[in-house]
A and B are shown apart, each in its own frame.
Chain A
Amino acid sequence: EIVMTQSPLSLAVTPGEPASISCRSSQSLLHSNGYNYLDWFLQKPGQSPQLLLYLRSNRASGVSDRFTGSGSGTVFTLKISRVEAEDVGVYYCMQSLQTPRTFGQGTKVEIK
């Protein structure tokens, strides 16, 4: 099983400032087809999770271009260029390279 590790586990950000979340995997998520099988989800308070980014850096439908994914292999980063109040919630990375799918522990983002 691939173990996913996120850091930090919590983050307080001033509106308009950038934020960054790291996700590391215990095995490379780089497939021979050149894609990194790493997805990012956001679970807003009281809501179901929603897909933000898939295959490392592709934004899901309707996702703001303030969200950017980068990295390769075993180290990945989610960056929010300018945090807004609507971005609060818990962010999860997930590997989709193999079963079982595995999630990181989650990073709680709050507004200062």
Chain B
Amino acid sequence: EEQLVESGGVVVQPGGSLRLSCAASGFSFDDYTMHWVRQVPEKGLEWVSLISGDGTSSYYADSVKGRFTISRDNSKNSLYLQMNSLRVEDTALYFCAKDSHQANMDVWGQGTTVTV
């Protein structure tokens, strides 16, 4: 079974830093693009970032560009989101999600909560 498990969400002061992790299992991790998507409580979904399977390409939402860095360690089947210069508006539930060869975001984790 394909599974994603996020961790690392905590309460942090504005201006602080945090690293989120996403542990993948049940699929060939390095074959797939991975995403971070966030959701403010009781609000909609906001795409944050994506990284290619080999880690050479990454993209960011304007709202986080220059502050957040997505990375992956394919030897550990893990995805990361380094979050710096955190703002109150970064408070959200953060999900990781994987693409398949055909579809976008076909598997999602349960999310980890960041409170700034």
Contact = CB atoms under 8 A, between A and B. Distances in A.
Interface of A: 1, 39, 41, 43, 48-51, 54-55, 58, 60-61, 90, 92, 94, 96, 99-106
A34 B64 CA distance: 32
Contacts of A1: 62
Interface stretch (B8-16, B77-85, B97-105): B97-105
B108 A92 contact: no
A55 to B, nearest CB: 7
B26 interface: no
A103 B105 CA distance: 12
Contact of A48 (B59, B95, B102, B106): B95
Given A48-B95, A48-B110, A49-B95, A102 B105 contact: no
Contacts of B50: 99, 101
